[in-house]
Amino acid sequence: MGRSGNASTRTRSALIGGDPRAYRDSLVALAIAALTSLVAGVTLAATTDTLEELPGLLLLVPASLAGKGNVFGTLGSRLGTSIHAGTFRLSGRLDSVVGSNVAAAMLLSLSLAVVVALLAKVVAIVFSISPTMSVADFIVVSAIGSLMASVVILVITLLLAGGSVRYGWDLDNVVSPLVTATSDVASLPALILAARLARVDVVTPVVATGLLVIAAVGLGWSLFARFEVLRGIVRESMPILVFAGLVDLVAGVTIEKRLESFLEFPVLLVLLPGFLGTAGALGGVLSSRLATKLHLGLIDPGPLPRGSGGAEIVRIFSLSVPIFVLAGVVAEFGGSLTDQASPGLTQVVSIAVLGGLLATSCVVFVAYYATITAVRFGLDPDTYGIPLVTSTLDFVGAFALILAIVAVGVA
């Protein structure tokens, strides 16, 4: 079986046992995600003028970050499962596992961005957020930003998969945090860059129409393509990704409604991407490992977590505290570096940890039950687990962050 088979043997033993390397790999990957979120946070905090000029843009932030995490985190999870099973072969052919997965990921990324843009306008109307950008503005910002970021994230995901085969990494431990980190770094700058296009009155409607047509044609082709793996991924993924995107938009409403608090202390905007990303990455790690163990028959999907499943949950809690402390420290450092107003280091770290523990409690519940429910209904837990966890965590995470801000007395 070559390198793929050797990687499968090495990582299988780590899955069965309590290998401390799994904790170390996850901790390092999560720390990298927390550190790199500084780029996204500083970008967001530095664009308060853009947020005010394009009302409704903040609605897209959780959906933009989570959308790429959902699509490419799921891609990484499926590739990780194929590595564990010894079936991974790096190939760009559409009739190969990797080729079909890559094509599906790019098609889903564009289609989801367009759908989320349309839903964003509807959500803004339903929740009385006015004024907002036009539908064309939403499509251009969401889809162009998504395409630019997706290329970067795809390359990183494939490099991680190749590295896991070559060096024996367990992809389940690193793909979700590092895809989250890449998404944070790539998505927000891409979103802000795309927002500049939305200000061009003549160009925007034409570009929006073109993107809408391309997304519709691409999605239609993929649903009836002769490539079974590609077709199956798109058909299974699109409904759950759209649902997840809607949940992310509601998370954006929660943040948009508290925009004044974030504008008063912009360091909280620096914290926002890292906080949401960390919560989602923790859920992604748990969901990926549970999905792989279920595929390999290493845990029993019972009504309550026990044995190896329970150990995975304990591991996630043990990872959460140091990582959320780091997220708070990084946010305060970024705020100081860019001269953003802050309530103080103690308050920022307290907000991050208190909100993080609330979010983590939800992580374990959603990740475990979403994964075993998928198995009970004969669905692929790799496809359903991560989007459900990440998007639920964006909503709960946004609410937990607001609750923590109020509890600490900042707003």
Instruction: For residues 330-346, give the mean pLDDT.
Output: 90
First vs last Cα of the chain: how many Å apart? Answer: 58
- Across 146-150, 166-170, 309-313, least confident range: 166-170
Q: What is the per-residue pLDDT for 115?
A: 93
Classify residue 24 by burial, with Cβ atoms within 10 Å: 0-12, 13-18, 19+.
Answer: exposed
C-beta of residue 103 within 8 angstroms of C-beta of residue 234: no
Instruction: For residues 13-34, give the mean pLDDT.
Output: 68
Q: How many CB atoms lie within 10 A of CB 409?
A: 9
**Residue 12 belongs to some domain of the structure:** no
**Residue 153 belongs to some domain of the structure:** yes
Q: How far apart are CA 190 and CA 64, in angstroms?
A: 10
Q: How far apart are CA 182 and CA 152, in angstroms?
A: 8
Buried/exposed 233-249: b ≥16 CB within 10 Å, e otherwise = bbebbbebbbebbbbbb
Q: What is the per-residue pLDDT for 14?
A: 43
Asked if residue 13 has pLDDT above 60, the reply is no
Q: How far apart are CA 320 and CA 367, in angstroms?
A: 15
DSSP codes, 333-393: HHHHHTT---S-HHHHHHHHHHHHHHHHHHHHHHHHHHHHHHHHTT--HHHHHHHHHHHHH
pLDDT bucket at 3, cuts 50 / 70 / 90: very low
User: What pLDDT, in 10s, does the model give residues 24-78?
Assistant: 877 887 888 788 778 778 877 777 777 767 777 778 877 877 777 778 877 877 7
The overall average pLDDT reported for the chain is: 80
- Which residue's entry shows tokens 């208190």? 354
Instruction: Determine the residue type at 289.
Output: R
Instruction: For residues 315-342, give the mean pLDDT.
Output: 90
Q: What is the per-residue pLDDT for 283?
A: 78
- Across 121-125, 150-154, 294-298, 352-356, least confident range: 294-298
- More reliable by pLDDT, 163 or 101: 101
**Residue 274 belongs to some domain of the structure:** yes
**Residue 7 belongs to some domain of the structure:** no
Tokens at residue 50, please?
A: 């853009």
Instruction: For residues 314-336, give the mean pLDDT.
Output: 90
Residue 122 backbone dihedrals phi, psi, to 5 degrees: -65, -45
Instruction: Determine the residue type at 118.
Output: L
Q: How many CB atoms lie within 10 A of CB 20?
A: 9
pLDDT bucket at 303, cuts 50 / 70 / 90: confident
**Residue 132 belongs to some domain of the structure:** yes
* Structural domain range at position 91: 19-408
Asked if residue 7 has pLDDT above 60, the reply is no
Instruction: For residues 91-105, give the mean pLDDT.
Output: 81
Q: How far apart are CA 12 and CA 241, in angstroms?
A: 29
The C-alpha torsion from 147 through 153 and 154 to 155, rounded to 10°, is 120
Give the number of domains in the chain: 1
**Residue 11 belongs to some domain of the structure:** no
**Residue 207 belongs to some domain of the structure:** yes
Asked if residue 4 has pLDDT above 70, the reply is no
Asked if residue 6 has pLDDT above 70, the reply is no
- More reliable by pLDDT, 5 or 63: 63
Asked if residue 135 has pLDDT above 70, the reply is yes
